[in-house]
Amino acid sequence: MSGTAQSVVRMANQIARNFAALGDEAAIAQTAEHIVLFWDPRMKATAFALDPVQFSPIARAAIDRLKAGIEGADASVD
């Protein structure tokens, strides 16, 4: 894994860990919101391309939620 990919995994897991005290659903939502608001498109693309097992369960769920939203948006354009 490249240094950039390692950084993306580390940051996503740190963000998720910081929100974990809110409970799983709120932590997932807040982690996803943080990624949307503060990560540039290259960071998001890197996260979406990585093997999801590298992320903590909360970070993985947040990234999956964002990926589903993007794929859903792409599907609705057709």
Give the model's pLDDT for residue 1. Answer: 73
Cα–Cα distance measured from residue 19 to residue 40, given in angstroms and rounded to the nearest whole number: 20
Query: What's this model's pTM, rounded to 2 decimal places?
Result: 0.87
pLDDT higher at 38 or 2: 38
Q: What is the mean pLDDT of residues 20-40?
A: 97
CA separation (Å) from 2 to 6, 45, 46, 57? 6, 14, 10, 22
Structure-block tokens of residue 1: 């894994």
The per-residue pLDDT of the chain, averaged, comes to: 90
Distance between terminal CA atoms of the chain? Answer: 34
Structure-block tokens of residue 38: 């503060």
| Domain ranges (residues) in the chain | 3-77
